[in-house]
Structures are given as structure tokens and as C-alpha cells.
Chain A
Amino acid sequence: MVDNNKKFKMVSHIIMVFLCLCCILPFLLLISSSVTEESTLIKEGYSFLPKKLDFSAYIYLLTRSSALVRGYMITIGVTVVGTVANLTLTTLFAYPLSRKDLPHRNIIAFFIFFTMLFNGGLVPSYIMWSKYLHINNTYAALILPNLLMQGFFVIMMRTFFTANIPDAVIEAARIDGAGEAYILRKVVLPMSKPILATLIMMVGLMYWNDWTNGLYYINKDKYFSVQVLLNRMLSDVQFLKTSSSVSQIGNLAQNLPSTGIKMAVAVMGALPVMAIYPFFQKYFIKGITIGAVKG
């Protein structure tokens, strides 16, 4: 029995290590390729160990080209502004909804719940944002459409408030003469650090990784965030591949980012998330597990 137990544990470890390798090896391939010398890369292809170490892709990206640095600034700016705005809207919506005494709160809750069940789809949404609100080629395009407030996060936060903030605390503050804004700021929010941290992580990740708004609404280089830049660099290769005209290929090849630089940009797009995440793992995991429990 004990022996059997040990064996089972061994097998568990072996399978887990194998799965972890599956998860991590593709990233190693990416990183290794980004620091391999260009001609080796073209001759021998991408590999897990750089046969000839060379950092020129990164040097080029950080010194000679402004696209990546600007992309980073935009991504960071959009992530910070978007996350702050999203959390502000979410909190301001979730707190009143959590108040059991608020008249008509069920109607309002349904108003937001319904957006999770039904939507108009891409076509009307795109036409509204681009043809009527003229959002194309602005930073707002990276922040506003679909990302600013999600019913899902509002309900997550409301559930947290309902479960963790006793009515008596709010009532006591009211009797002391505190206004609602004051109660939210000084009583509710200080008690809600876990959910705030979790949502900051989830929303921040969402903004950092978003590329679809950039795809739909942006075609000027100077508004490219890192993910949009990555997407565009991938698309150029497609264009090269599907294009039949020889002269066009020759023309494009000159501007085409080299094999190594592409991998370097991909590394730069993924690295911050992978580097930061282990330290905040707790909050990500909390976000995922709360999210799965219905609100």
C-alpha cells in the first residue's frame, strides 16, 4: 500500500513535469530564437539552444527602431488608464447594486446581466464606433470599445461586497452622518482590497493583451501598441506569402523585420506578463476561481 502510494506520487510528478515542459518549451524556443544570430537562424531554423548567440535583434529594437519603444509606452499608458477607468466604473456600479435596500436594484442588475447573455455582434458595434463616434486612429479606440466595463466583473465585485461588507457597518456610518461617496471611499473600499487586487490583475491583463481593437480601429503606425505591432508584423509575412507579384515581394522584403527581430518583439510582448505574474499568482488564481462560481 505504502509502496503503491509512493509509485503513484512518482507518476504524478512525472506527468506534471511533462505537462510543465509542454507549457514552457515553446517560450524557450521563442527566446532562444530571438538571441540567435540571423544567418544561423535562416540556415538552421529556430532551435531551443542558440547555436550562435547574438543580441543584435534587441539592440536594433531598443536603439534603432522607435516602434517597439513607442508600442511599449502606448501599451503601458493604455493599460494604466484603462484599468483605472474600468475599476472606477465597475466599483461605482457594483457598490449601489450590492445595497439590498436600493429600490429597483433587480431591474438594474438585470440590465447588466442581460449584456452577458446577448450582444449585437461585431458589425453594429464596429459601425457605431467607427462611423458615428469616429474613434478610428485615436488612443480611445484602444481603451473604450468592449473593455471599459464588463458585466462579469461588476457581478464579481457586487458578490464580494454583499458577502464581505456587513449592512451594519454601512448603517453605522450613515447614522454618523457619512454620505454615500464617503462610505464607499472610507468604509467599503478599505475592506475590499482582495477583490480590488484581483480585478486590477484581470483587467490589466485584458488591456495588456488586447489586440482586436487595434486590428479593427487602427491603421496608423503611431498608435500601435505592442500587441497590435506584433499582429501587424505577423500579417506582413502572410502578405508576402500569399502575394504572387514578384516585384512586390522584393519591395516588401527590404522593410520586412528579420527572422530574429520578429521573435524578439514576441518575447517583449510576453515577457512582462510572465515576469510579473508569479508574484501576483494568488490574485490571478482568486480571480479565476471566484469567476467560476456564479454570482
Chain B
Amino acid sequence: MVRKLKKKYYRYLPLYIMMIPGLTYLIINNYIPMAGIIIAFKQINYRLGILKSPFIGLKNFKFLFQSSDAFVITRNTISYNLVFLILTPAVAIMVAILLNEIKNKRAKKTYQTIILMPYLISIIVVSYLVYALLASDTGYINNSILEALGKEGISWYSNAKYWPFIIVIVALWKGFGYQTIIYFATIVGIDSTYYEAAAIDGATRGQRILHVTLPALKSTIITLTLLGIGRIFYSDFGLFYQVPLNSGPLMDVTNTIDTYVYRGLLQSNNIGMASAAGVYQSLVGFALVLTANLVVSKISKDDALF
């Protein structure tokens, strides 16, 4: 029996050995930091090290949730994500449907190439693009558009009221191409006999889109929304930190959990609050993924992620 077992594993030994580098990396890069969540329950003192730093229970969390920051960063993170979750697929589906109506192959490919470009560029370069448009002294909008209209230049980087729109526009600009490609691939995969049957029944273009295309996209919409809900407590750090140039007056509308954690950890040296916010993000994020998946698996089992 033991010998048989030995023989069985011996055969697979090379396969297990192959996985050692990857497993080691996962343990170091992913699992040890998971255990590091205890930092949030300690008063970290680097000289003592993490293990010997004293436990302070939920004090860090208490401080975090007593401050007004907790509300602001939660509100910002969730509300931007909700807007992205609705707007991006809406635009992407529309564009994918239009793209599908275009029969000229070269035009179709060119359009696809161009709308995906913003997605491939680093968010830092995007910050420069936004800066070129919005800089108060040399920016295009102040210098060329507002001046031509005879209006006074706006100091964009210190006026918070514009930024919810700017952030949404930038996120949409950067992200719609990616989703368009996904929806377009699904549309291309729809069996053309559905459309022919609909045409024979006298369906108009609008009806065909409404009754054939959209239902076929249902699965993809659910999957992407599910992934989005799982990420609703997370934000693109660069979009909220570097695109607004880390500008103080904008903080009320640009501070998210990720920027808060970064600033606490590396700028204001407030590790307690930063780690509490990080744990808050990890746990709620995790709960949201599980819940969203559970709900979907109840409604339409095939669309659940796991």
C-alpha cells in the first residue's frame, strides 16, 4: 500500500517540482502579506519588529471610523465605481453594436486599433495628457478654448467641483475600448441565423438589437458587472492620485481607499490608520465578491464565476 502510494507520487514528482517556484512566489508575495493583516491590530514599532509590537485591539479601526476620512474615502470609492459600472458598459455596448454594423474590414480594424490605445498607455502618461489640457497657465483649455470665448481661465487643479466629471471622463476614455472589444467579440460570435430569422419576421434594426443582440450579451454583461462589483472597494491608484496631481484642494472628491492607504503609509507615516483602511478594504471587498457571486449563482447559475 505504502509502496503503491510512493510509486503514484513518484510519477508526478516532476510535475510538483515544476510548481515549486510559483508556489514559493505565491507564499511570499500573496500569503505572507495576508497574514500581515495583524498589523492593523498592533501599534507598529519597526524597532521591535511586527511580531513584538504590542497588540492594541481595534483601536486603529476606532480612530479610522471616528475620523471623517472613513466616510469620504468609502463614499468616493463606491460612488465612482458605481458610475463606471453603469457608464462604461453602456458606452462600450453601443460602440460594439456600431462597430458590428460597419462592414468595411479595414475601417473596422482601424477603429478597433484606435479605441484601444488609451487602454494601453500608462496612467502616468494619461496624467500628462490631462495636464496638457488643464494646466492653468499653459493648458489647452484655458489658453485656446476659454480665451477664444473671451472667458477667464479656470484653475482646474484647485477647484474640486469639476473633478468628479474629469475623473469619470478620464476613466471612461481609458476604459471603454477594452470593454468594447469584449462586447464586440461576443456580438461577432452570435449565430447569424438569429438575425436572418428576425429579418424574415420583419424586425426593424432597433428590434433586432433589442431582441437578439442584447439578450446575447447578457452573460458577458453579468460577468463584467460581477467582476466590477467585486472590485467596487478598489480604485485605480494612479487615476485618483496622479491624474489630479495629488492636489490638496481636490482631496475631498479624489481621495479613495487606495490613495488614503498610500498617503498614510508613505507620506504621513500613519501606519495604524493606513493598515486599518487596508484591512477594511480587503475584508469588505472579499465579502462583496462572495455575495455578488452567490446572488448570481441563484439567478442564473451558468454566469457565476465560481
Contacts and interface: CB of A to CB of B under 8 A. Distances in A.
Interface string B121-143: 11111011101110101111011
Contact of B181 (A42, A119, A210, A285): A285
A284 B18 contact: no
Given A12-B101, A16-B102, A108-B19, A24 B117 contact: yes
In terms of DSSP, what is the predominant structure of the interface of chain A? Answer: helix
A15 B32 CA distance: 50
A60 interface: no
B33 interface: yes
A23 B261 CA distance: 32
A216 B282 CA distance: 20
Given A16-B111, A124-B39, A180-B18, A263 B182 contact: no
B30 to A, nearest CB: 4
Contacts of B271: 123
Interface in A257-281: 259, 262-263, 266, 269-270, 273-274, 277-278, 281
A119 B33 contact: yes
Nearest to A24: B114
A180 B124 contact: no
B83 interface: no
A4 B101 CA distance: 13
B279 interface: yes
Contacts of A230: 122, 124-125, 128
A146 interface: yes
B291 interface: no
Interface string B1-45: 000000011001011101101110110111111111101100010
Contacts of B37: 120-121, 124
A123 B120 contact: no
B167 interface: no
B305 interface: yes
A26 B130 CA distance: 8
Contact of A20 (B101, B111, B120, B173): B111
A245 interface: no
A9 to B, nearest CB: 6
A16 B220 CA distance: 22
Nearest to A147: B29
Interface stretch (A66-74, A95-103, A190-198): A95-103
Contact of B248 (A89, A144, A242): A242
Contacts of B178: 288
Contacts of B9: 103
B245 A16 contact: no
Given A27-B129, A118-B282, A205 B262 contact: no
Contacts of B245: 234, 237-238, 241
A6 to B, nearest CB: 11
A57 interface: no
B34 A120 contact: yes
In terms of DSSP, what is the predominant structure of the interface of chain B? Answer: helix
A148 B25 contact: yes
A220 B265 CA distance: 19
A250 interface: no
Contacts of A8: 101, 205
B289 interface: yes
Interface size class, chain A: 35 or more
A178 B115 CA distance: 47
Contacts of B35: 120, 124
A159 interface: no
Interface of B: 8-9, 12, 14-16, 18-19, 21-23, 25-26, 28-37, 39-40, 44, 46, 50, 95, 98-99, 101-103, 107, 109-118, 120-125, 127-129, 131-133, 135, 137-140, 142-144, 157, 173, 177-178, 181-182, 185, 205, 220, 223-224, 230, 237-238, 242, 245-248, 258, 261-262, 265-266, 271, 274-275, 278-279, 281-282, 285-286, 289-290, 305-306
30 contacts: A29-B132, A33-B132, A41-B138, A46-B132, A46-B133, A46-B143, A95-B18, A96-B15, A99-B15, A108-B19, A117-B230, A117-B289, A119-B34, A120-B30, A120-B34, A121-B281, A122-B262, A123-B40, A124-B32, A209-B120, A209-B122, A211-B124, A230-B128, A234-B124, A262-B128, A263-B132, A270-B122, A274-B120, A274-B121, A285-B116
Given A41-B138, A47-B144, A127-B50, 5 more contacts: A47-B143, A92-B21, A123-B39, A128-B32, A154-B22
Interface of A: 4, 8-9, 12-13, 15-16, 19-20, 22-24, 26-27, 29-30, 33, 41-42, 44-48, 88-90, 92-93, 95-97, 99, 102-103, 108, 111-113, 115, 117-128, 131, 144-146, 148-149, 154, 179-181, 184, 205, 208-212, 216, 227, 230-231, 234-235, 237-238, 241-242, 259, 262-263, 266, 269-270, 273-274, 277-278, 281, 284-285, 288-289, 292-294
